[in-house]
Amino acid sequence: MPLLRRAGLTLRRLALALGLLCLIGGLSFLVAFPLWYFSTRSPLGFTIAVGALLAAGLAYLVVSRLRRASRRAGGFRTLAEQRLLPALRTVGLVLACLGAVYGIVLLIARLFR
């Protein structure tokens, strides 16, 4: 009798695993097929839609992180004064330096062409 019970439990687990695989395959098909169909019928529309979804997701992540950080810092103004403005100043300085280097390299390339 224990042998039959073990065989039954093994078959039950096998059936559950097979059912889960079928569920995963079905859900994957439900997601992938419309995306594939949309991308083949309208590549430009698909690119715009995916870009918009990506931008919305990134904006959500940035805004939620800023909200959490401003709560911890005691308000958005405090956060901006302590962390955001110095970071923006550094980014501006780096971009200005890169622009100056690019301009110098472009000038040298045009002079000696």
Taking only the tens place, the pLDDT of each residue in 38-75 is: 899 989 988 998 999 999 999 999 999 888 888 888 88
For position 74, what pLDDT does the model report? 83
Number of H helices, E strands in the chain: 4, 0
b/e burial code for range 46-62 (CB count within 10 A of at least 16 → b):
beeeeeeeeeeeeeeee
pTM score, whole prediction: 0.51
Model confidence band, residue 1 (pLDDT cutoffs 50, 70, 90):
low
